């Protein structure tokens, strides 16, 4: 009998929710056939069986939360006799007692060795169980990974463990936290008729991840916000002109594609905005690659798929890729690699509404750009009042890495290229 387990899918995932069973008990399956769909805090992944066989048992039901390493299903492989375990089942209770006795004796001998590995990381940080990406995250956040308790398989330290460690330390430093918590105990005495009008929704999955990352960002990065406006009258005309040609090619040409291109041009001229902060080494990491995260509103919450090497793509290619990633994010079909590696993030609030906002930086980035709804506004040009297409833009940046002057220069370069889109053909790829 072979067990199909929920494997470690990486990126700090420690648990998931069974969304849908793709097989039934008694069903014959092939090797690599998907057994279930599991929703993690980042995406929905299909879990395959490594071997062919007959499904004997499905563990859990749809909606259950399971830990990494837990058994999802048991199956009998070809050539295996399933009857023997069934006939031997009555004999197991008689053997259970000595087996249980052995188990009771073993922990007293096994416990001491288990304690020692937990003490070693404190003395030898380099030997903490963690993958390279998790160690890098710890360095960026200034977390001593040797002091982090791992919750992953075999005590491995996950990204979530590192983030929780930082959030916990930050909470301890806030003196008013205990005072704000005390009054919250009062709702216990809410009248039954009012409780009947309330609905409690568990915080899990994407919503839980969003909350943890945003708290982490606000606690660690001193946010400064710069607001400005861009005259995009010519950009609007260009998009309308090229829109039909794009549709003939099956491409939905959005303003976002132009903005991503303009951002990559501006980032190359102002490299400190395309960076991260290594808190452990006290170093600013300037990145010569341009992976632009695009915030997408999904039914489950905000997701940020990443356009890799955005500076090497044409405006049409950016439109194609951004639409594809957004659709995959909304349908939860996006792959984990497409949700990581961002060096700068853009959040497009304009598709919904609003004039200005104060977006929170998406770690490990040091800045995030918010774009809003284009409006017709009266502008004085050459002593005359004219109606122009105005795009409100907002830049939130980490004051540990950037000063206001650097942010303003970046915004000026961005506005210049949005105002005159022909520059994108000259300065872009």
Question: Does residue 406 sit in helix, strand or coil?
Answer: helix
Q: What secondary structure letter does DSSP report for 418? A: H
Of 64, 50, 53, nearest to 16 (Cα)?
64
Please indicate whether residue 399 is annotated as part of the active site.
Answer: yes
* Rounded-to-integer distance, Cα 21 and Cα 24, Å: 7
Contact 108, 86 (CB under 8 A): no
* Rounded-to-integer distance, Cα 89 and Cα 107, Å: 26
* Rounded-to-integer distance, Cα 174 and Cα 195, Å: 31
* Rounded-to-integer distance, Cα 341 and Cα 238, Å: 31
Residues pairing with 154 in the sheet: none
CA angle 335, 429, 233 (to 5 degrees): 95
Long-range contacts (CB closer than 8 Å, 24 or more residues apart) made by 183-190: none
Taking each helix axis as running N to C, give the angle between helix 255-269 and helix 315-330, from 0 to 180 degrees, rounded to the nearest 10. Answer: 110
Q: What are phi and psi of 135, to 5 degrees?
A: -65, -40
Q: Residue 160 is inside which H or E element, if any?
A: helix 159-173
* Rounded-to-integer distance, Cα 226 and Cα 175, Å: 29
Q: What are phi and psi of 175, to 5 degrees?
A: -65, -25
Please tell me which residue in 270, 372, 399, 417 is annotated as part of the active site.
399
Helices and strands (H, E) in the chain, number of each type: 12, 18
Q: What secondary structure letter does DSSP report for 75? A: E
Question: Beta-carbon neighbour count of residue 418 at 10 Å?
Answer: 25
Q: Active-site residues: which are they?
A: 399
């Amino acid at each position: 009998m072979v067990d199909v387990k929920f494997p470690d899918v990486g990126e700090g995932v420690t648990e998931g929710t069974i969304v849908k069973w793709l097989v039934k008990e008694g069903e014959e399956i092939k090797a690599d056939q998907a057994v279930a769909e599991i929703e993690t805090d980042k995406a929905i992944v299909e879990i395959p069986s490594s071997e062919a066989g007959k499904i004997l048992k499905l563990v859990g039901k749809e909606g259950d939360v399971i830990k990494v390493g837990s058994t999802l299903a048991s199956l009998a492989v070809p050539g295996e006799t399933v009857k023997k375990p069934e006939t031997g089942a009555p004999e197991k209770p008689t053997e259970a007692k000595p087996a249980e006795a052995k188990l009771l004796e073993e922990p007293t001998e096994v416990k001491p060795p288990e304690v020692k590995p937990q003490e070693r990381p404190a003395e030898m940080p380099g030997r903490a169980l963690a993958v390279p990406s998790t160690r890098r995250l710890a360095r960026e956040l200034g977390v001593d990974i040797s002091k982090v308790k791992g919750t992953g398989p075999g005590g491995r330290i996950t990204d979530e463990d590192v983030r929780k460690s930082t959030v916990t330390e930050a909470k301890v430093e806030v003196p008013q936290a205990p005072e704000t918590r005390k009054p919250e105990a009062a709702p216990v005495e809410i009248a039954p008729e009012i409780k009947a009008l309330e609905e409690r929704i568990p915080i899990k999955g994407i919503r839980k991840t969003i909350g943890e990352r945003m708290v982490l960002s606000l606690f660690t990065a001193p946010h400064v916000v710069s607001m400005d406006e861009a005259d995009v009258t010519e950009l609007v005309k260009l998009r309308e002109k090229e829109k039909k040609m794009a549709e003939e090619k099956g491409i939905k040409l959005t303003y976002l594609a132009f903005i991503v291109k303009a951002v990559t041009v501006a980032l190359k001229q102002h490299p400190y905005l395309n960076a991260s902060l290594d808190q452990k080494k006290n170093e600013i990491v300037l990145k010569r690659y341009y992976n632009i995260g695009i915030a997408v509103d999904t039914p489950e919450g905000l997701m940020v798929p990443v356009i890799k090497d955005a500076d090497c793509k044409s405006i049409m290619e950016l439109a194609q890729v951004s639409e594809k990633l957004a659709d995959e994010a909304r349908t939860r079909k996006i792959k984990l690699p497409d949700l990581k590696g961002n060096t700068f993030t853009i959040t497009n609030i304009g598709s919904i509404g609003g004039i200005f906002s104060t977006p929170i930086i998406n770690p490990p980035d040091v800045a995030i750009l918010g774009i809003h709804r284009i409006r017709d506004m009266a502008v004085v040009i050459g002593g005359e009042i004219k109606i122009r297409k105005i795009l409100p833009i907002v830049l939130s940046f980490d004051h540990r890495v950037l000063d206001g002057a650097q942010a303003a220069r970046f915004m000026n370069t961005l506005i210049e290229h949005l105002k005159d889109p022909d520059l994108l053909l000259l300065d872009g790829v």
